[in-house]
Protein backbone atom coordinates (compact mmCIF):
# COMPACT_ATOMS: atom_id res chain seq x y z
CA UNK A 1 0.00 0.00 0.00
CA UNK A 2 1.05 3.56 -0.61
CA UNK A 3 -0.66 5.09 2.36
CA UNK A 4 1.24 7.77 4.19
CA UNK A 5 0.71 9.61 7.43
CA UNK A 6 -0.49 13.10 6.49
CA UNK A 7 1.91 15.92 7.29
CA UNK A 8 0.94 18.49 9.86
CA UNK A 9 0.22 21.51 7.74
CA UNK A 10 0.24 25.12 8.70
CA UNK A 11 -3.35 26.20 9.34
CA UNK A 12 -4.61 29.49 7.97
CA UNK A 13 -5.07 32.26 10.48
CA UNK A 14 -8.83 32.61 9.95
CA UNK A 15 -11.54 30.32 8.56
CA UNK A 16 -13.10 31.23 5.16
CA UNK A 17 -16.51 32.03 6.65
CA UNK A 18 -15.15 35.13 8.38
CA UNK A 19 -15.19 38.64 6.86
CA UNK A 20 -11.39 38.79 6.44
CA UNK A 21 -11.45 36.46 3.44
CA UNK A 22 -11.85 37.72 -0.12
CA UNK A 23 -15.16 37.75 -1.96
CA UNK A 24 -13.51 36.01 -4.90
CA UNK A 25 -10.93 33.26 -5.00
CA UNK A 26 -7.44 34.21 -6.23
CA UNK A 27 -8.29 31.83 -9.05
CA UNK A 28 -5.07 30.40 -10.44
CA UNK A 29 -4.88 26.65 -11.00
CA UNK A 30 -1.45 25.18 -10.28
CA UNK A 31 -0.13 21.68 -10.77
CA UNK A 32 1.52 20.76 -7.45
CA UNK A 33 3.39 17.72 -6.19
CA UNK A 34 1.10 15.24 -4.46
CA UNK A 35 3.55 14.96 -1.57
CA UNK A 36 2.62 18.54 -0.56
CA UNK A 37 -1.06 17.70 -0.17
CA UNK A 38 -3.03 15.58 2.27
CA UNK A 39 -5.87 15.13 -0.24
CA UNK A 40 -5.22 12.13 -2.45
CA UNK A 41 -2.58 10.46 -0.29
CA UNK A 42 -4.71 7.36 0.16
CA UNK A 43 -4.66 6.39 -3.54
CA UNK A 44 -3.79 2.80 -4.30
CA UNK A 45 -1.60 3.96 -7.16
CA UNK A 46 0.31 7.14 -6.29
CA UNK A 47 0.24 10.12 -8.62
CA UNK A 48 3.03 12.62 -9.09
CA UNK A 49 0.82 15.66 -8.70
CA UNK A 50 -2.61 17.19 -9.01
CA UNK A 51 -4.28 20.53 -9.66
CA UNK A 52 -4.87 22.96 -6.80
CA UNK A 53 -6.90 26.16 -6.96
CA UNK A 54 -5.49 29.19 -5.12
CA UNK A 55 -7.96 30.90 -2.79
CA UNK A 56 -5.84 33.43 -0.89
CA UNK A 57 -2.43 33.85 0.70
CA UNK A 58 -2.15 33.80 4.50
CA UNK A 59 0.95 33.94 6.68
CA UNK A 60 3.28 33.15 3.77
CA UNK A 61 1.34 30.07 2.64
CA UNK A 62 -1.28 29.70 -0.06
CA UNK A 63 -4.72 28.43 0.83
CA UNK A 64 -5.67 26.00 -1.95
CA UNK A 65 -8.47 23.63 -2.85
CA UNK A 66 -7.04 20.35 -4.16
CA UNK A 67 -8.69 18.82 -7.21
CA UNK A 68 -9.47 15.47 -8.73
CA UNK A 69 -10.74 14.38 -12.14
CA UNK A 70 -12.58 11.42 -10.62
CA UNK A 71 -16.30 12.02 -11.02
CA UNK A 72 -17.88 13.51 -7.90
CA UNK A 73 -20.72 15.31 -9.69
CA UNK A 74 -23.33 14.44 -7.06
CA UNK A 75 -21.07 14.97 -4.06
CA UNK A 76 -21.68 18.36 -2.38
CA UNK A 77 -18.14 18.33 -0.94
CA UNK A 78 -16.75 19.04 -4.42
CA UNK A 79 -17.06 22.14 -6.62
CA UNK A 80 -17.54 20.91 -10.17
CA UNK A 81 -16.07 22.68 -13.19
CA UNK A 82 -16.91 20.97 -16.50
CA UNK A 83 -14.20 20.55 -19.11
CA UNK A 84 -16.01 22.85 -21.54
CA UNK A 85 -16.53 25.71 -19.06
CA UNK A 86 -15.81 29.05 -20.77
CA UNK A 87 -14.89 30.49 -17.34
CA UNK A 88 -11.97 28.10 -16.82
CA UNK A 89 -9.02 28.98 -19.04
CA UNK A 90 -6.26 26.41 -19.28
CA UNK A 91 -2.90 26.80 -20.99
CA UNK A 92 -3.35 23.71 -23.12
CA UNK A 93 -6.44 22.07 -24.65
CA UNK A 94 -5.01 18.64 -23.75
CA UNK A 95 -5.30 19.55 -20.07
CA UNK A 96 -9.06 20.08 -20.41
CA UNK A 97 -11.04 17.66 -18.29
CA UNK A 98 -13.79 17.80 -15.70
CA UNK A 99 -12.37 19.07 -12.41
CA UNK A 100 -13.75 18.63 -8.91
CA UNK A 101 -12.28 20.92 -6.24
CA UNK A 102 -12.53 19.58 -2.69
CA UNK A 103 -13.98 21.76 0.08
CA UNK A 104 -11.28 20.93 2.64
CA UNK A 105 -8.69 23.59 1.94
CA UNK A 106 -4.99 23.09 2.57
CA UNK A 107 -2.12 25.52 3.15
CA UNK A 108 1.00 25.00 1.08
CA UNK A 109 4.08 26.86 -0.10
CA UNK A 110 3.67 26.86 -3.87
CA UNK A 111 7.35 27.42 -4.59
CA UNK A 112 8.49 24.41 -2.54
CA UNK A 113 5.75 22.22 -4.06
CA UNK A 114 7.00 22.57 -7.63
CA UNK A 115 3.89 24.53 -8.60
CA UNK A 116 3.34 25.06 -12.29
CA UNK A 117 0.60 27.54 -13.21
CA UNK A 118 -1.58 26.09 -15.93
CA UNK A 119 -4.94 27.78 -15.68
CA UNK A 120 -7.07 30.60 -14.36
CA UNK A 121 -10.72 31.08 -13.50
CA UNK A 122 -12.70 34.04 -14.80
CA UNK A 123 -14.14 36.40 -12.17
CA UNK A 124 -17.66 34.93 -12.28
CA UNK A 125 -16.34 31.49 -11.37
CA UNK A 126 -13.97 32.91 -8.71
CA UNK A 127 -16.98 34.46 -6.97
CA UNK A 128 -18.98 31.23 -7.27
CA UNK A 129 -16.16 29.19 -5.70
CA UNK A 130 -15.96 31.47 -2.65
CA UNK A 131 -19.74 31.54 -2.23
CA UNK A 132 -19.83 27.73 -2.38
CA UNK A 133 -16.88 27.39 0.03
CA UNK A 134 -18.41 29.75 2.59
CA UNK A 135 -21.74 27.88 2.40
CA UNK A 136 -20.06 24.49 2.79
CA UNK A 137 -17.96 25.54 5.75
CA UNK A 138 -20.78 27.31 7.55
CA UNK A 139 -23.00 24.20 7.22
CA UNK A 140 -20.70 21.42 8.26
CA UNK A 141 -17.43 22.87 9.41
CA UNK A 142 -15.37 20.97 6.85
CA UNK A 143 -12.06 21.87 8.39
* Contacts within 8 Å (CB) and 24+ apart, 82-91: 85/125, 86/122, 87/121, 87/122, 87/124, 87/125, 88/29, 88/119, 88/120, 88/121, 88/122, 88/125, 89/119, 89/120, 89/121, 89/122, 90/29, 90/118, 90/119, 91/117, 91/118, 91/119
**11 pLDDT above the threshold of 50:** no
pLDDT computed for residue 125 by the predictor? 93
pLDDT computed for residue 4 by the predictor? 40
pLDDT computed for residue 6 by the predictor? 41
- Average pLDDT rounded to a whole number, residues 49-76: 88
The per-residue pLDDT of the chain, averaged, comes to 80
Q: Which CATH number fits domain 28-140: 3.40.190.80, 2.30.30.110, 2.70.70.10, 2.60.120.10?
A: 2.30.30.110
Higher pLDDT, 71 or 52: 52
Residues present in the chain in total: 143
pLDDT computed for residue 128 by the predictor? 93
pLDDT computed for residue 19 by the predictor? 58
- Average pLDDT rounded to a whole number, residues 110-132: 92
- Average pLDDT rounded to a whole number, residues 83-99: 79
**15 pLDDT above the threshold of 60:** no
Amino acid sequence: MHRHRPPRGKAPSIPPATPGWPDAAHGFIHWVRQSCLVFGRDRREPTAGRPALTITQRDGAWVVLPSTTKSNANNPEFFYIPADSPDCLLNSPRERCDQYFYQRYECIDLSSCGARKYGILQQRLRLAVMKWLRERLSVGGAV
